[in-house]
């Protein structure tokens, strides 16, 4: 009984204390069936270099249904449970909450008693999600101090276009859906990612597009007409009220991943923008709060790379170039290095963001890419390009997969994107290098997406106390 009355040892008050925690030994990776012919799955990967099964799949949990399209997923609880405002001081980081972005179904997976062999604990059907929230296409999962927050990409109706997309809450112990989060949403209509600064009591959200704009592939006409999302939204977290919108400019299409500084004393964060329709470049933006208002500025750009049309998919042949297509960014726990995944050009970039207004490029690896097809150090091919990225708590390892979204994968990579997971080692003063020993191939029947690390990682936990 006493054991249950202690905080989970994987919860850490500050980012610095989290960096001192033991190294991860296993990773959980979301796998999806590209053609929907089989159920999606959760892979358990051995990431312990001292293990005889290092870099192997230890277990695969197949789901009972087809057509879910696993994308982003997260824990039921994390370091945010140490918030002084939390009513759940003795939660455990035990369950993985896995939404199906296409089916609107949600799976609750139990990683105990054996973290290497998780089991399915609960399935929440799409009808319940819609009935209790009015939303569909659940996307990003974040563990908050008092519950599980899930963002969505769709509203009501069969095509998800009836009403705006938003965020809903789930009880972190019973997994009952409580209802939509917003009390006053203001002008916000589109959604994608969200995150927060808990002590400062604000939330930031971003935009992708309506379900018809992504479910059957990128709609080129909508992109060239600047009809995808291009705004940032700022919210009063406890008041659940929209505060401010920043429009990045309609040419900055698809404002996706949000990464706030981990130390809550730092009131800034980063945003990745997929493409500028005027020149095909990708960009990183820094947002911050000053004088009671939020601001945003483009602080890094990555140009498109000219390429012969013969090596480009039909979608890009008219442009004569491969765009970087920034599909993910991730920030190390010390707020020092920002990693930027350029899925189109096949590059993972490392920026020193010690000065958040002036990112400095400090490292890069090339693998895959629409036009280049750079191989792994082993000589094996890498389909797709660097995509979902996850950093170890100590900042010494960066894991990434290669798939974006099933319909988009085949548009940009007509040969298909069978799932692969690899890792980079990080130099003490910056710089990254692909690890020659670690590499997991999940087979042609699965694409690979989000990675979660045992004990937490850099895009899971939010911290309530400053680093000393």
**DSSP-derived secondary structure for 84-118:** TT-S-TT--S-EEEEEBTTT--EEEEE--S-TTS-
**Environment class of 372 (CB within 10 Å of its CB; exposed 0-12, middle 13-18, buried 19+):** middle
pLDDT at 3 over 60: no
Length of the chain: 468
The tokens for 204 are 């930031």
Residue 343 CA to residue 216 CA, distance in Å, equals 19
Neighbours of 32 (CB within 10 A): 28
Neighbours of 349 (CB within 10 A): 25
Neighbours of 433 (CB within 10 A): 12
Q: Over the stretch 292-306, which tens digit does the pLDDT of each residue have?
A: 999 999 999 999 999
Mean pLDDT for all residues in the chain: 96
pLDDT at 389 over 70: yes
Return the CATH class of domain 2-453. Answer: mainly beta
Residue 238 CA to residue 267 CA, distance in Å, equals 17
240: Cβ contacts below 8 Å, ≥ 6 apart: 181, 182, 183, 184
Place of tokens 């979608």: 315
157: Cβ contacts below 8 Å, ≥ 6 apart: none
Question: At 210, is the pLDDT very low, low, confident or very high (cuts 50, 70, 90)?
Answer: very high
Residue 426 CA to residue 428 CA, distance in Å, equals 7
pLDDT at 249 over 90: yes
- Confidence at residue 120, expressed as pLDDT on a 0 to 100 scale: 98
Residue 389 CA to residue 449 CA, distance in Å, equals 9
331 backbone dihedrals φ, ψ, rounded to 5°: -120, 130
252 backbone dihedrals φ, ψ, rounded to 5°: -90, 85
Residue 171 CA to residue 63 CA, distance in Å, equals 22
As a whole number, mean pLDDT of residues 262-266 equals 97
Residue 261 CA to residue 182 CA, distance in Å, equals 24
- Confidence at residue 7, expressed as pLDDT on a 0 to 100 scale: 83
As a whole number, mean pLDDT of residues 199-219 equals 96
As a whole number, mean pLDDT of residues 43-51 equals 98
Residue 4 CA to residue 398 CA, distance in Å, equals 33
Query: Please, are residues 198 and 145 in contact by the beta-carbon 8 Å criterion?
Result: yes
pLDDT at 468 over 90: no
pLDDT at 234 over 50: yes
Kindly state the DSSP code that residue 269 receives in the 8-state scheme: E
The tokens for 230 are 């291009």
pLDDT at 280 over 90: yes
Sequential DSSP letters for 375-443: PPTTS----S---SEEE-TTSSEEEEE----HHHHHHH-TT---EEEEEEEE-BTB-EEEEEEEEEEEE
pLDDT at 173 over 70: yes
The tokens for 261 are 């500084």
Residue 360 CA to residue 352 CA, distance in Å, equals 5
Q: Over the stretch 88-140, which tens digit does the pLDDT of each residue have?
A: 667 899 999 999 999 999 999 999 999 999 999 999 999 999 999 999 999 99
Residue of 342, 346, 343 lying closest to 372 (CA atoms): 346
Residue 117 CA to residue 42 CA, distance in Å, equals 10
Q: What percent of the chain has pLDDT over 90?
A: 96
Question: At 4, is the pLDDT very low, low, confident or very high (cuts 50, 70, 90)?
Answer: low
Q: Over the stretch 57-91, which tens digit does the pLDDT of each residue have?
A: 999 999 999 999 999 999 999 999 999 877 666 78
- Confidence at residue 90, expressed as pLDDT on a 0 to 100 scale: 75
- Confidence at residue 5, expressed as pLDDT on a 0 to 100 scale: 65
Residue of 204, 203, 222 lying closest to 212 (CA atoms): 222
pLDDT at 320 over 50: yes
- Confidence at residue 85, expressed as pLDDT on a 0 to 100 scale: 75
pLDDT at 2 over 80: no
What ranges make up the beta strands (E) of 125-262? Answer: 136-143, 148-154, 167-170, 177-180, 194-197, 202-205, 231-236, 241-247, 252-260
């Amino acid at each position: 009984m006493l054991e249950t009355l202690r905080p989970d040892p994987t919860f850490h008050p500050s980012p610095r204390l989290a960096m001192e925690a033991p190294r991860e030994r296993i990773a959980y990776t979301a796998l999806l069936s590209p053609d929907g012919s089989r159920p999606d799955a959760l892979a358990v990967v051995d990431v312990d270099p001292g293990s005889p099964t290092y870099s192997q799949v230890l277990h695969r949990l197949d789901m009972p249904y087809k057509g879910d399209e696993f994308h982003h997923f997260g824990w039921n609880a994390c370091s945010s449970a140490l918030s002084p405002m939390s009513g759940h001081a003795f939660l455990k980081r035990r369950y993985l909450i896995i939404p199906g972005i296409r089916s609107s179904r949600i799976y609750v997976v139990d990683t105990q008693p054996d973290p290497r062999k998780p089991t399915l604990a609960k399935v929440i059907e799409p009808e319940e999600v819609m009935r209790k929230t009015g939303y569909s296409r659940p996307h990003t999962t974040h563990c908050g101090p008092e519950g599980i927050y899930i963002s969505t990409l769709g509203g009501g109706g069969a095509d998800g276009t009836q009403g705006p997309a938003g965020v809903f809450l789930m009880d972190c112990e019973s997994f009952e859906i409580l209802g939509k989060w917003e009390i006053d949403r203001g002008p916000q209509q589109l959604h994608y990612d969200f995150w927060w600064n808990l002590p400062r009591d604000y939330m930031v959200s971003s935009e992708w597009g309506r379900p018809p704009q992504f479910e059957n592939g990128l709609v080129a006409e909508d992109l060239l007409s600047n009809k995808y999302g291009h705004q940032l939204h700022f919210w009063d977290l406890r008041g659940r009220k929209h505060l401010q919108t920043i429009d990045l400019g309609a040419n900055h299409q698809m404002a996706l991943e949000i990464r706030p500084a981990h130390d809550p004393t730092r009131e800034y964060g980063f945003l990745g923008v997929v493409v500028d329709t005027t020149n095909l470049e990708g960009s990183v933006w820094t947002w911050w709060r000053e004088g009671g208002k939020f601001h945003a500025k483009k602080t890094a750009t990555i140009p498109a790379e000219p390429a012969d049309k013969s090596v480009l998919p039909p979608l890009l042949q008219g442009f004569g170039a491969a765009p970087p297509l920034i599909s993910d960014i991730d920030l190390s726990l010390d707020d020092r290095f920002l990693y930027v995944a350029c899925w189109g050009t096949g590059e993972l970039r490392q920026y020193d963001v010690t000065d958040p207004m002036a990112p400095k490029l400090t490292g890069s690896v090339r693998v895959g890419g629409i036009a280049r097809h750079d191989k792994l150090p082993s000589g094996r091919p890498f389909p797709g390009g660097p995509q979902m990225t996850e950093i170890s708590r100590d900042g010494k390892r960066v894991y990434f997969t290669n798939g974006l979204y099933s319909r988009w994968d085949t548009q940009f990579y007509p040969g298909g994107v069978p799932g692969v997971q690899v890792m980079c080692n990080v130099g003490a003063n910056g710089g990254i290098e692909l690890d020659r020993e670690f590499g997991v191939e999940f087979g042609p029947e699965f694409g690979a997406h989000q990675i979660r690390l045992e004990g937490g990682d850099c895009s899971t936990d939010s911290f309530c106390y400053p680093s000393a």
